[in-house]
């Protein structure tokens, strides 16, 4: 009984550490030993928790996106805040956090799409799933904004969510090399405060 709890705790530890190290150094740039040492779990134990580095990475992807989904849901469910403002508040919160983090990391999903998208079907599926969950939520926000008359209705909420998610991925890359949140802000300005407005 105690055993199964410890197992869950160790899995969680590894996933947490995996998120932060894969963000900072990428998949091929991060050794398992590095992760294991950081959480003080011996090498041999890793394969009791995960089948391989690749499937570990796929789990890390979902573990990464979960908190973002919670955070976005929180904004969308805040009373007396319209859908468009909720999205703007959410992205502003992200920008604040990224700035506090000195523009490091960006988005694990985007980074891994670039690094592994072509070569790991397992990770590709995880990335696809994660990004779809995320995009659906943004679409909901835009849909709400449309019903409230704040977001244009001549474009579908789906295609706007698509554009927003893709552009956001792009500006996060840009942020990394410019070491500035300016690209993030101009993304929000162009789309949420520009193109999408009714």
Partner DNA sequence: TTATAAAAAATGACCAGTCGTATTAAAAAA
Partner DNA sequence: TTTTTTAATACGACTGGTCATTTTTTATAA
Among 10, 16, 20, 26, binds a copy of itself (CB under 8 A): 26
Residues 113 to 132 in contact with a copy of itself, rule: CB under 8 A: 113-115, 117-119, 124, 127-128, 131
Beta pairing partners, 151: 197
Of the candidates 35, 64, 65, 68, the one whose C-alpha atom is nearest the C-alpha of residue 50 is: 35
143 closest CA partner among 131, 130, 158, 154:
158
Is 145:83 a contact under the CB 8 Å cutoff? yes
Restricting to residues 97-116, name those near a copy of itself by CB under 8 A. Answer: 104-106, 110-115
Residue 141 binding a copy of itself, by CB under 8 A? no
Percent helix / strand / coil, the chain, rounded to 5: 75, 0, 20
Which does residue 197 bind out of DNA, a copy of itself, none, counting CB within 5 to 8 angstroms by kind? none
The CA distance from 99 to 92, in Å, is: 11
Partner interacting with residue 13 (select from DNA, a copy of itself, none; CB below 5-8 Å by kind): none
- DSSP-derived 3-state class of residue 197: strand
Closest distance to DNA from the beta carbon of 124 (Å): 16
Distance, CA of 134 to CA of 53 (rounded, Å):
24
Q: Is residue 92 a contact point for a copy of itself (CB under 8 A)?
A: no
Q: Which residues bind DNA (CB under 7 A)?
A: 1-4, 6-7, 10, 30-34, 41-49, 52-54
Does residue 54 belong to the site contacting a copy of itself (CB under 8 A)? no
Q: Interface residues with a copy of itself (CB under 8 A)?
A: 24-29, 104-106, 110-115, 117-119, 124, 127-128, 131, 155, 159, 162-163, 165-171, 173-174, 176-178, 183, 186-187, 190, 194-195
């Amino acid at each position: 009984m105690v055993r199964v709890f410890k197992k869950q705790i160790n899995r969680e530890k590894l996933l947490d550490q995996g998120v932060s190290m894969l963000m900072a150094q990428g998949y091929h740039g991060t050794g398992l030993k590095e992760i294991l040492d950081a959480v003080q779990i011996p090498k041999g134990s890793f394969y009791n928790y995960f089948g391989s580095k690749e499937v570990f990475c796929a789990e890390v992807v979902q573990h990464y996106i979960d908190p973002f989904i919670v955070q976005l849901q929180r904004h969308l469910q805040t009373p007396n805040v319209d859908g468009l403002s909720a999205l703007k508040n959410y992205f502003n919160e992200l920008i604040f956090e990224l700035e506090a983090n000195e523009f490091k990391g960006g988005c694990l999903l985007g980074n891994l799409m670039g690094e592994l998208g072509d070569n790991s079907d397992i990770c590709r599926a995880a990335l696809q799933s994660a990004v779809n969950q995320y995009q659906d939520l943004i679409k909901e926000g835009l849909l709400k904004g449309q019903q409230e008359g704040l977001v244009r209705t001549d474009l579908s909420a789906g295609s706007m969510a698509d554009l927003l998610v893709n552009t956001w991925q792009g500006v996060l890359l840009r942020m990394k090399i410019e070491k500035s949140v300016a690209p993030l802000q101009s993304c929000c300005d162009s789309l949420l405060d520009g193109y999408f407005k009714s």
